[in-house]
Copies of this chain bind each other. A is one copy, B any other.
Amino acid sequence: MSRRPTISDVAHEAGVSKGLVSFVFNGRPGVSPATRDRILAAAAELGWRPNPNARSLTTQTAYALGLVVLRDPAILGSDPFFPAFISGVEAVLSDRGRVMLLSVVPDEERELETYRKLAAESRVDGVFLTDLRHHDPRIALLAELGIPAVTLGRPDVPSGFPVIDRDYGHGITAVVSRLRELGHTRIAHVAGDDRMLHGTRRRDQFAEAVRASGGEPIVVGADFSPDAGAQATRALLARDEAPTAIVFANDPMAIAGMAVAQQLGYRLPEQLSITGMDGSEMSQYLFPPLATVGNDPAEWGRTAAHSLLALIETGASEDVTLPAAEFIPRGSIAPPPTPDGSAVDTPQQTATPSTR
């Protein structure tokens, strides 16, 4: 209804000048305790809070952090990372007087344009860089624009920004070890998007883990989407020597892969072991429950937010390493089918008569 109170209203109410009110709210010394209390009381009574837009003008601070998500809208919904990541960021921001500005863009051109716009309009004090790509153009752009940033993962280009990272290879190695222990020799990987750093890294870590255990990695490319995951699974299972275990680069692909295998008549996990990555909430509610590698997006969010705020407020730029990713074993893995038993129990044969 009535106009929002301003600093002048508070000053008038407390019988002081605007400047003093500002001093109090910025915790600056040189205000007597008595007046301080009077000002705080006046502000509380009027329900006044400093207007960040006005503050921005003089402080050259936007009181906001940005997140620009480049996503094919089609596969956006199946990715469980962002909502949890954002809630982690928010948990930190809510007490720090900053808000989060979110943008979802369909392609790289719009993405870079969005950063330029945020910069030109002084909308944000810093940004989170997620889903790092190879030779990611955002790093140089943000450096040029002078916008502070933190990267989720270590870029493959020179970057002065703090890095938040986690040893994900640890979990991947554990997956492969466990599968080898169970007796699997033909272990395949359905990889994520090759343009993304964590797509190829997970692929490399998988390959390395398999080789380290004396095996020969089988890898087929995909892009983190359930659709690609399903196609890759179909291709793998159509091979002469089909793998007995498939390690998917994320949970949505693994879920789609499980469905493809089941449709082909595979009994899971007896005839095919499957694992996912990223430890989505859904994974434990599948049948069989999906073994996966934990990731904790909310922890990424909290940590990234702390780092970014530290960088902005104090200039402190320190890399943070999150705890190594842990393998979460569940019912979707088992020993491979025995070679002799496979004759009577070939999945494709039992599958053929099925109705769909």
Binding site for B on A (CB under 8 A): 1, 4, 47-54, 56-57, 62, 64, 71, 73-84, 86-88, 90-91, 94, 99-106, 110, 114, 117-123, 146, 226-227, 229-230, 252, 255-256, 258-260, 262-263, 280-282, 285-289, 297-298, 331, 356
Contact = CB atoms under 8 A, between A and B. Distances in A.
Query: What is the copy number of this chain in the assembly?
Result: 2
Given A76-B84, A101-B100, A120-B49, A259 B285 contact: yes
A53 to B, nearest CB: 4
A49 B123 CA distance: 11
Interface centre among A81, A104, A356 (most CB of B within 10 A): A104
Given A53-B57, A94-B105, A100-B101, A298 B73 contact: yes
B77 A83 contact: yes
In the complex, the 6 A-B pairs of residues with the closest C-beta atoms, listed nearest first = A259-B287, A77-B80, A256-B285, A53-B56, A262-B287, A226-B285
Given A101-B99, A110-B94, A287-B259, A226 B282 contact: yes
Contacts of A286: 255-256, 259
B51 A54 contact: no
Interface residue SS majority, chain A: helix
A87 B94 contact: no
A90 B68 CA distance: 11
Nearest to A75: B281
B287 A49 contact: no
Nearest to A49: B120
Contacts of A226: 281-282, 285
Contact of A282 (B88, B103, B255, B262): B255
A245 to B, nearest CB: 18
Contact of A80 (B78, B81, B100, B119): B78
Given A52-B53, A77-B282, 15 more contacts: A49-B121, A52-B123, A53-B122, A73-B88, A77-B84, A77-B280, A83-B83, A86-B104, A94-B103, A94-B114, A99-B123, A100-B103, A226-B281, A227-B285, A259-B285
A197 to B, nearest CB: 21
Contacts of A56: 53
Contact of A102 (B54, B100, B146, B230): B100
A80 B77 CA distance: 5
23 contacts: A49-B120, A49-B121, A71-B83, A73-B91, A76-B83, A76-B87, A77-B83, A77-B84, A86-B102, A90-B102, A91-B106, A94-B105, A94-B110, A99-B101, A99-B118, A99-B123, A102-B102, A252-B285, A255-B285, A256-B285, A258-B287, A262-B287, A263-B287
